[in-house]
Amino acid sequence: MLRLDKWLSGANVGSRSQVKEYLKKGLVKVNGEVVREPEYKIEEGKDRVSFREKEIIYKKYVYYMLNKPKGVVSATRDPIDETVLDLLKDTGYGNLFPVGRLDKDTEGLLIMTNDGDFAHHLLSPKKHVDKVYYVEMAGPMAEEDRKALEAGVDIGEKKPTLPAKVERISDTSIYLTITEGRYHQVKRMLKAVGNEVVYLKRIAMGGLVLDESLPGGGYRELTEEEMRKMRV
Ligand code: URA
């Protein structure tokens, strides 16, 4: 059961405040009857909702690309910090969660969805989904360190990291592609070769590339083409 105003904004009929106006004006019908109460409860898959006499098809699952800014935590609730879900509250979907995590001080691509199977698929360690990070470091990277990162390094766990790809951008910046998602992995990998991450941004994941036109904190739905790429 979902509130009617949430249901309507979730179905992209309008923002929560626009939807309230539409309800007041009697533009919304549930099972053929005008309903004006925003808190009216909708039974998904059963009740038929129309707006201006046109039936609305509700999307059960939604997929957003978020450009996570610094200072926001990859959680759905937090007693102190702003969360990534707070950034997407205007979507009307209160049941979104991030696909994986980025540290509070990490920026960039985070997929937000309410589709648990999709998230599970992308995060499964067996799937080895590529994640590409733009990394700025405190010191220059020696060739032997680059090779060590590519081969796999000891980050204090049972197993070294899996082979990675390092592409140099400048003396102190690289693109690093990894296929795992261990805790603080990039920072620990750089530490393992005596360096330090000073800026970290995820720019791609599983074939999905961050839309650079999104400002920090900006988000948009994934296109069908992007969805197709990610299902490969
Ligand atoms: N690796 C890190 O160290 N931090 C992140 O946020 C993501 C990958």
* 178 C-beta closer than 6 A to ligand 1: no
48-62, 84-98, 193-207 — most confident range: 193-207
Residue 10 has pLDDT above 90, yes or no: no
- Report residue 164: phi and psi, to 5°: -125, 175
Q: Which atom of ligand 1 is nearest to the CA of 103?
A: 6
Q: What percent of the chain has pLDDT above 90? A: 82
Query: Which tokens belong to 228?
Result: 């197709």
Q: How far is the CA of 7 from the centre of ligand 1 (A)?
A: 35
Atom 2 of ligand 1: nearest residue by CA position: 184
Atom of ligand 1 nearest to the CA of 106: 6
| Residue count (the chain) | 232
Secondary structure (3-state) at 1: coil
The predicted model scores a pTM of 0.81
Q: Is 135 in the pocket of ligand 1 (CB under 6 A)?
A: no
Q: CA angle, 198 as apex, 197 and 201 as ends, to 5°?
A: 80
In short, whether 103's Cβ falls inside 6 Å of ligand 1 is yes
* Residue positions annotated with a catalytic role: 103
Give, using CA atoms, the residue closest to atom 3 of ligand 1: 184
Give me the domains of the chain, ranges plus CATH numbers.
2-55 (3.10.290.10), 64-123+215-230 (3.30.70.580), 131-205 (3.30.70.1560)
Distance 51 CA to ligand 1 centre (A): 44
Residue of higher predicted confidence among 177 and 62: 177
pLDDT in tens, 130-172: 999 999 999 999 999 999 999 999 999 999 999 999 999 999 9
Beta bridge partners of 81: none
Task: Quote the pLDDT of residue 13.
Answer: 84
Q: Is the CB of 187 under 6 A from ligand 1?
A: yes
- Could you tell me the two tokens for 80? 């102190």
Closest ligand 1 atom to the C-alpha of 202? 7
78: Cβ contacts below 8 Å, ≥ 6 apart: none
The tens digit of pLDDT for each residue in 26-76 reads: 999 999 999 999 999 998 778 999 999 989 887 778 999 999 999 999 999
| CA dist., res. 120 & res. 127, Å (int) | 10
Is the pLDDT at 113 greater than 70? The verdict is yes
Can you tell me the mean pLDDT for 216-227? 95
